[in-house]
């Protein structure tokens, strides 16, 4: 099992408390949707318990949610039975090119090893239509790979790829994206990891 698969297996064990704590749509999701045409096709990569996918669908967008964690997806399917959720590794997506108007990656790239992020973004670029938009939220700060205690299950360690803004900007630009928006904030509750929250939107 690699680091990202291990992280998803931890989510299998914490799906219920995670769903209780994170029941609201992600920050800056509306700014992302404002950058897309009406009824645009969006893939939510690392969709977890489906809250963002459900919110985007409620606004008329066509959404597919992808996650590796069976238990996170079980909750997503119970909450939003009308939506298309698939258990897949976001590093192995094989949809046709130019299929999606938007890619939504809320706190999922944090579990992808640094060695895999370039190829992942290369594939995301391939999947997006021209002018398509990607939303990425991260645990930001000084670039490092770490294992931290999982907040909902402190006896479990979970892998994190901490990515600085310059690092993600460089990876995006090298893959043909241009940055359109960036937001940052410090953690505001004990149920958040102690890293700067970084939100980046970029266009193909
Ligand atoms: C912090 S949660 C974020 C969930 C949701 N996007 C949100 O913002 O609430 C990270 C999610 O990414 C998923 N994940 C991690 N690595 C993955 C991979 N390689 N492929 C698919 N999903 C992955 C985990 O299973 C987990 O559900």
Nearest CA to ligand 1 atom 16: 4
Q: What is the mean pLDDT of the chain?
A: 96
What is the percent of the chain where pLDDT is above 70? Answer: 100
Q: List, for residues 84-122, the tens digit of each pLDDT value.
A: 999 999 999 999 999 999 999 999 999 999 999 999 999
* The pLDDT of residue 36: 98
- Is any ligand 1 atom within 6 A of the Cβ of residue 101? no
* The pLDDT of residue 86: 98
State the pLDDT confidence band at 190, using cuts at 50, 70 and 90.
confident
- Is any ligand 1 atom within 6 A of the Cβ of residue 139? no
User: Could you tell me which residues come within 8 angstroms of residue 169 by beta carbon, excluding any fewer than 6 positions away?
Assistant: 179, 200
Q: What is the pTM of this model?
A: 0.98
Distance CA(96)–CA(15), nearest Å, equals 31
User: Could you tell me which residues come within 8 angstroms of residue 74 by beta carbon, excluding any fewer than 6 positions away?
Assistant: 15
Q: List, for residues 148-184, the tens digit of each pLDDT value.
A: 999 889 899 999 999 999 999 999 999 999 999 999 9
Average pLDDT over residues 51-62: 98
Q: Which one has a higher pLDDT value, 190 or 20? A: 20
* The pLDDT of residue 92: 97
Measured from the Cβ of residue 1, the count of other Cβ atoms closer than 10 Å reads 8
- Domain range list for the chain: 3-203
Asked if 117 and 86 count as a contact pair (C-beta separation under 8 A), the reply is no
Q: List, for residues 116-158, the tens digit of each pLDDT value.
A: 999 999 999 999 999 999 999 999 999 999 999 998 898 999 9
| Letter string b/e over residues 130-148, b meaning 16 or more CB atoms within 10 A of that residue's CB | eebbbbbbbbbeeeeeeeb
- Is any ligand 1 atom within 6 A of the Cβ of residue 67? yes
3-203: which CATH architecture? 3-Layer(aba) Sandwich (3.40)
Helix/strand/coil (H/E/C) assignment for every residue in 158-181: EEEEECCHHHHHHHHHHCCCEEEE
The Å distance, Cα 59 to ligand 1 centre, comes to: 22
Most informative mutation of 1, 4, 8, 138 for ligand 1 (most atoms within 8 A of CB): 8
């Amino acid at each position: 099992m690699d680091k990202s698969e291990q992280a998803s297996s931890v989510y299998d064990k914490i799906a219920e408390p995670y769903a209780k704590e994170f029941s609201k749509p992600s920050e800056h999701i509306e700014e992302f949707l404002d950058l897309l045409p009406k009824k645009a096709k969006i893939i939510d990569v690392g969709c977890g318990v489906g809250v963002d996918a459900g919110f985007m669908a409620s606004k008329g967008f066509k959404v597919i949610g992808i996650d590796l964690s069976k238990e996170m997806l079980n909750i997503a399917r119970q909450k939003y039975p009308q939506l298309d959720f698939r258990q897949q590794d976001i590093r192995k997506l094989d949809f046709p090119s130019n299929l999606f108007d938007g890619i939504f990656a809320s706190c999922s790239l944090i579990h992808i090893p640094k060695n895999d992020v370039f190829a992942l973004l290369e594939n995301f670029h391939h999947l997006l239509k021209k002018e398509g938009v990607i939303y990425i939220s991260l645990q930001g700060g000084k670039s490092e790979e770490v294992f931290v205690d999982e907040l909902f299950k402190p006896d479990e360690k979970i892998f994190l790829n901490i990515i600085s803004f310059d690092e993600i900007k460089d990876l995006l630009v090298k893959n043909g994206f241009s940055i359109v928006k960036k937001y940052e904030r410090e953690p505001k509750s004990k149920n958040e990891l102690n890293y700067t929250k970084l939100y980046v939107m970029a266009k193909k």
